[in-house]
Chains A and B, each alone.
Chain A
């Protein structure tokens, strides 16, 4: 329309420009990280992500231990956090008396507000000694499970297990917030129908509420996975930082994010910097994919089930 006042056109132009900064920034980030990673990627090829030698003196780099550690610590975190987070969300949306709902939700939100480095500090000084002296020795000496590869080797303390525990605490509020949101989106009639048919409260939740919210909950869990994959400081402080693949949860490991945090400012030669950039690029690609899947699932559920108006 030509009659649009100049002010309106200007206003629309400015807000559009601000909005378009977001895609531009994302592209710029991806491009610059790829550019930094290029020498290493060209030199090592895709085997960069599948070999495990990391020798910065002789310029040989393979990120497999970091990839392995990232995947294992994140999955461990999901195994610990998911049941708890879904449990809290169910509690908050279905059972909690009104006076308890706000405080508990606030506490869970606070978990998300604590900076990563504070978790790391607590992890180093409280959690790691506790795991070494109580949990690991309990599994070894009382349950006699030291023979299993999962619990083999010396128990240092800084370990994959410690990283998994810290990550679980850190991602729990994200999973629980999304789950609560999708549970709230389940229509009341769904619950009332199940109760009218004689279901117990749990059966009502299990058979009528959870199936309805399922893909949204899975989305929340994947969102938590995205956070866990990229979480840096707390993990760097408790995982032990060693370039080795071990089946044992008691052994120290590495993650992609902690390799970068640990070595980047000390990297002296070009190829070392580039290798760390390549680790970052791998992380960027994986987290974009994981987040895209999660957002899509949550969005689909919040919109209602397939076929609903």
Chain B
């Protein structure tokens, strides 16, 4: 091997190496840039998502707080143009509607949830679980026209009962799935211990399993209540709304979301202010219920000790 032939080859090799290294640096650079851009995009999307929420909350508190007064909580609405008035009747109406809904939704939902947790894996349970998800995915307006067809049309008048039952139908799948999830995390050993002590199956289920899972089920129920308390669509042609006090389940009744809706689409600034106030109260209600739900879960984990 002479120096004359070796040198160019060595040079070629080293330049080739350099080229490779350079290319590697470039790709590493590009990969690093892509990585940087995409990771930033992911951070950014978190910020962008938080933005509308903050905008809505800030605007709501600013607009709503100035319009929420004593009369808002104590007075029914007054005709357009007159000062004062409130949404007290709508708040009571919402409570009555939610109470009717819970009366229907909670027992059925919890019963079905018990069934799903205990018959897990059977074909019936799988089918019921799937159908309960389908029911949960039905648009609330469809539930509304169903309730109208069944309860308003034949009776010829709108009623709180029709509205409450429509909301109750919406609660069933929510409560069912929440109950099932909560019963699933109850340790099997607990159930076995109760059975070993000579408890019958039904007593084990009700007084041991259900009781252990109760805080979680309360959470699920509260979430379901919060969800239907804000519903408007199924109420428009069932509960219909009412400008006056009403406590009868067989008469049209006001509800907070419906009042917000009709005030929001009105042309009056005064009513828009009332709508903001109503929205603030509704949101506060929903958030308080959601927070209560969180605390109920926390208590459960505290007691569960795992």
Verify if A295 is at the interface (C-beta below 8 Å from B): yes
Q: A110-B53, A116-B233 are in contact. Are A36 and B139 (CB under 8 A)?
A: no
Cβ of A86 to closest chain B Cβ, rounded Å: 8
Q: Which residues of A contact B111 (CB under 8 A)?
A: 14-15, 17-19
Question: Among A18, A25, A92, A110, which residue has the most Cβ atoms of chain B within 10 A?
Answer: A18
Q: Which residues of B contact A107 (CB under 8 A)?
A: 49-50, 53
Q: When each residue 83-115 of chain A gets 1 if its CB lies under 8 Å from chain B and 0 otherwise, what string results? A: 111111011101110000000100110110111
Verify if A55 is at the interface (C-beta below 8 Å from B): no
- Interchain CB contact under 8 A, A122 and B150: no
Q: A8-B201, A126-B55 are in contact. Are A91 and B42 (CB under 8 A)?
A: yes
- Interchain CB contact under 8 A, B261 and A120: yes
Contact residues of A between 7 and 26, Cβ < 8 Å to B: 7-8, 10-12, 14-23, 25-26
- Interchain CB contact under 8 A, B146 and A15: no
Verify if B182 is at the interface (C-beta below 8 Å from A): no
Cβ of A258 to closest chain B Cβ, rounded Å: 9
Q: A233-B232, A295-B130 are in contact. Are A288 and B38 (CB under 8 A)?
A: no
Contact residues of B between 103 and 133, Cβ < 8 Å to A: 107-108, 110-112, 114-116, 118-119, 124-125, 127-128, 130-133
* A94 to B111 Cα, complex, angstroms: 38
Q: Which residues of B contact A14 (CB under 8 A)?
A: 111
- Interchain CB contact under 8 A, B143 and A29: yes
Pick the contact of B202: A8, A29, A96, A113 (CB < 8 A).
Answer: A8
* Segment at the interface with B among A61-69, A141-149, A244-252, A279-287: A279-287
Verify if B140 is at the interface (C-beta below 8 Å from A): yes
Pick the contact of A276: B118, B145, B264 (CB < 8 A).
Answer: B145
* A20 to B116 Cα, complex, angstroms: 11
* Segment at the interface with B among A40-48, A200-208, A300-308: A200-208
- Interchain CB contact under 8 A, B115 and A18: yes
Verify if A184 is at the interface (C-beta below 8 Å from B): no
Cβ of A271 to closest chain B Cβ, rounded Å: 15
Q: Which residues of A contact B48 (CB under 8 A)?
A: 84
For the complex of A and B, 10 pairs with smallest distance between CB atoms: A230-B139, A115-B230, A18-B111, A87-B45, A11-B202, A291-B137, A19-B115, A200-B35, A232-B233, A15-B115
Taking Cβ atoms with an 8 Å cutoff, the residues of B that contact A are 31-32, 34-35, 38-39, 41-46, 48-50, 52-53, 55-56, 59-60, 107-108, 110-112, 114-116, 118-119, 124-125, 127-128, 130-135, 137-146, 148-150, 169, 172-173, 176, 200-203, 205-206, 226-227, 229-233, 236-237, 240, 257, 260-261, 264-265, 272, 275-276, 279, 282-283, 286-287, 290
Taking Cβ atoms with an 8 Å cutoff, the residues of A that contact B are 5, 7-8, 10-12, 14-23, 25-26, 28-29, 32-33, 35-36, 83-88, 90-92, 94-96, 104, 107-108, 110-111, 113-122, 124-126, 169, 172, 176, 200-203, 205-206, 223, 226-227, 229-233, 237, 257, 260-261, 264-265, 276-277, 280, 283-284, 287-288, 290-292, 294-295
